Chains A and B, each alone.
Chain A
Amino acid sequence: MSSRSGPQSGQTALLFLPGDSLLHRANPLTSLIFMLWMISAAAVLPTIGTTILIVAGVALSFAMGVGPRVTKRLVITMLPLLVALLVVHGFLVSRPDFIPLVGPLTYSPTGLEYAAQVVTRIGAMLTASLIFVTTTHPGDILKSLDQRGVSPGVSYLIASPLLLIEPFSERAKAIRDAQRARGLDLTSTFKARFKALPALLIPLITLALSDLDHRASILNSRAFRAQKHRTVIDAPPDDRFQVWLRRVLIVLAIAQLGIPLLWR
């Protein structure tokens, strides 16, 4: 039993990867709260702690069969941040402990330390969210919410964009290519590219809104929000162990955030 929403839907723009690991089988709410616990830990731990959290998180992602995707995304997102942080805090922000490096260049050890602290903290939070989104299908999150009586309108607002983004990205590329064929040069001057923007954007926006009337009548005729609650089919399974695990993780997450505050 992989994703309950079917393996085929994994082909869309989602970061989700179908699989059969522990986290894939876990109730989406358990995975969600596990992510929140990890983010709260990353918020308060010192650099060494957040570094361990990243290493542990990446190891976990490999154990769950999503390692390559998590690592790739982590590196792509963190690399520019790492470079920018090292430059800004190591060399630019003026600090009392500037040490000459080469020529006029000076660097600050405390600045570099600070950069490392920020990078590992964001890195750990990012690892937590990547593990969550790669192992949890959004359709299953929505079903768990539905099951808990969350309004169908809320599910709609999350599900509909997730499904529509892929076809619209494709159309955006098609419009860009069509404009290029008509002589739009996307490598020319700043001014020319700036002027080209409306020609690219306005047709897409108009298209996105043109379905509005139809979709409204379809949803109404399928009795959308006609009843207070809706039936949930293929709801992700849950058990007493997971219910307790979630409670423990919530208490831990709050305590982690609260204790350092009391300490001061």
Chain B
Amino acid sequence: MKFDTRTLILIAAAIVINIVGGQIAHFVKLPLYLDSVGTILVGILAGPWAGGIAGLLTNLVWGLILNPVAAAFAPVALVIGIAAGFLARAGWFKSWWQSIISGAIIAVPSTIIAVPIIVYMFGGVTGGGPDFAAAYLLAVGTSLIQSVAFSNLGINILDKALAALIAWVVASRLPTRLTSSFGFFSYSKA
């Protein structure tokens, strides 16, 4: 797997976009992560492997500079990028509504990977937004793993659908001069 220089630069930019997106979600005080817009964008422009690497490295870099806990979720970010790339390959990023559906689909595997990490490594909590939803579900008698899965899936669907939509808006507005060097992007052209 050897990426050309442009793809490497795109991945590096995506890592920055992810981390700054996460910071913006924090400013706006919404229970969203918004830390996968860059990953999904790389998936659309350069394919599943580049997308996966963008996700994986986002969490490792995040771990190095802001919060080492993020590194534990690197496999989740990897899966988001791979899923986005395969959906783009299948032509599911050609319009705004397809992107929203793709985002919701991406939420499923990412939750499947995240739940065991949350439950077995972190005892079911992350110190973040979904904890409240999980606590509520637990209080009404759901099991821990189900509570974590439901609360995370709910937030993930909203989060990934929005992230995928934003990624699509950005990708569709990029100048041809820039996108012409990313051959994979042709799968997302109507």
Q: Is there any pair of Cβ atoms, one from A and one from B, under 8 angstroms apart in the complex?
A: yes
Which residues of A are at the interface with B, using a C-beta cutoff of 8 A? 13-15, 77, 80-81, 84-85, 87-89, 92-94, 114-115, 118-119, 122, 125-126, 129-130, 133, 138, 153, 156-158, 160-162, 164-165, 168-169, 172, 176, 186, 190, 193-194, 196-198, 200-202, 204-206, 208-209, 211-213, 215-216, 219-220, 224-225
- 10 more contacts with CB within 8 A, not counting A209-B170, A212-B178, are A15-B64, A85-B123, A118-B123, A126-B69, A138-B64, A156-B8, A164-B13, A201-B166, A202-B166, A220-B5
Q: How many angstroms from the CA of A86 to the CA of B82 in the assembled complex?
A: 36
B9 and A197: CB pair below 8 A?
A: no
In residues 121-178 of chain B, which contact A (Cβ within 8 Å)? Answer: 121-128, 131, 134-135, 138-139, 141, 144, 162, 166, 169-170, 173-174, 177-178
Q: Could you give, for residues 6-47 of chain B, a 1 whenever the CB lies within 8 Å of some chain A CB and a 0 otherwise?
A: 101111110111011101110111100010011001000000
Q: How many angstroms from the CA of A15 to the CA of B68 in the assembled complex?
A: 10
**Looking at the complex, which one of B3, B5, B30, B123 makes contact with A88 (CB distance below 8 Å)?**
B123
A88 and B144: CB pair below 8 A?
A: yes
Asked if B105 is at the interface (CB within 8 A of a chain A CB), the reply is no
Looking at chain B's contact residues, the main secondary structure is helix
Given A168-B20, A220-B5, is A162 in contact with B34 using a C-beta cutoff of 8 Å? Answer: no
Residue of B nearest to A167 (CB): B16
Name the residue in B2, B41, B65, B69 with the highest tally of chain A Cβ atoms < 10 Å from its Cβ.
B65
B122 and A122: CB pair below 8 A?
A: yes
Distance of B84 from chain A, by nearest CB (Å): 15
A212 and B6: CB pair below 8 A?
A: yes
B10 and A118: CB pair below 8 A?
A: no
Given A84-B127, A93-B138, A208-B17, is A77 in contact with B57 using a C-beta cutoff of 8 Å? Answer: no
Given A14-B65, A162-B61, A201-B24, is A88 in contact with B138 using a C-beta cutoff of 8 Å? Answer: yes
Q: Could you give, for residues 101-135 of chain B, a 1 whenever the CB lies within 8 Å of some chain A CB and a 0 otherwise?
A: 00000000000000000000111111110010011
B16 and A168: CB pair below 8 A?
A: yes
A161 and B63: CB pair below 8 A?
A: no
A204 and B29: CB pair below 8 A?
A: no
Q: Which residues on the B side are within 8 Å of A153 (C-beta)?
A: 2-3, 8
Which residues of B are at the interface with A, using a C-beta cutoff of 8 A? 2-3, 5-6, 8-13, 15-17, 19-21, 23-25, 27-30, 34, 37-38, 41, 53, 57-58, 60-61, 63-69, 71, 121-128, 131, 134-135, 138-139, 141, 144, 162, 166, 169-170, 173-174, 177-178
B17 and A77: CB pair below 8 A?
A: no
Residue of A nearest to B60 (CB): A158
Q: How many angstroms from the CA of A89 to the CA of B30 in the assembled complex?
A: 26
Q: How many angstroms from the CA of A200 to the CA of B170 in the assembled complex?
A: 13
**6 A/B residue pairs, CB under 8 Å, sorted by A:** A85-B122, A186-B28, A200-B28, A201-B166, A202-B170, A212-B9
Q: Which residues on the A side are within 8 Å of B17 (C-beta)?
A: 204-205, 208
Distance of A88 from chain B, by nearest CB (Å): 6
B66 and A13: CB pair below 8 A?
A: yes
**Looking at the complex, which one of A88, A164, A197, A202 makes contact with B34 (CB distance below 8 Å)?**
A197
A201 and B23: CB pair below 8 A?
A: no
Residue of B nearest to A14 (CB): B65
Q: Which residues on the A side are within 8 Å of B16 (C-beta)?
A: 161, 164-165, 168, 208
B65 and A165: CB pair below 8 A?
A: yes
Given A15-B64, A138-B64, A161-B16, is A115 in contact with B5 using a C-beta cutoff of 8 Å? Answer: no
Distance of B183 from chain A, by nearest CB (Å): 15
Given A118-B123, A172-B23, A186-B28, is A158 in contact with B57 using a C-beta cutoff of 8 Å? Answer: yes
Q: How many angstroms from the CA of A176 to the CA of B24 in the assembled complex?
A: 8
Residue of A nearest to B56 (CB): A157
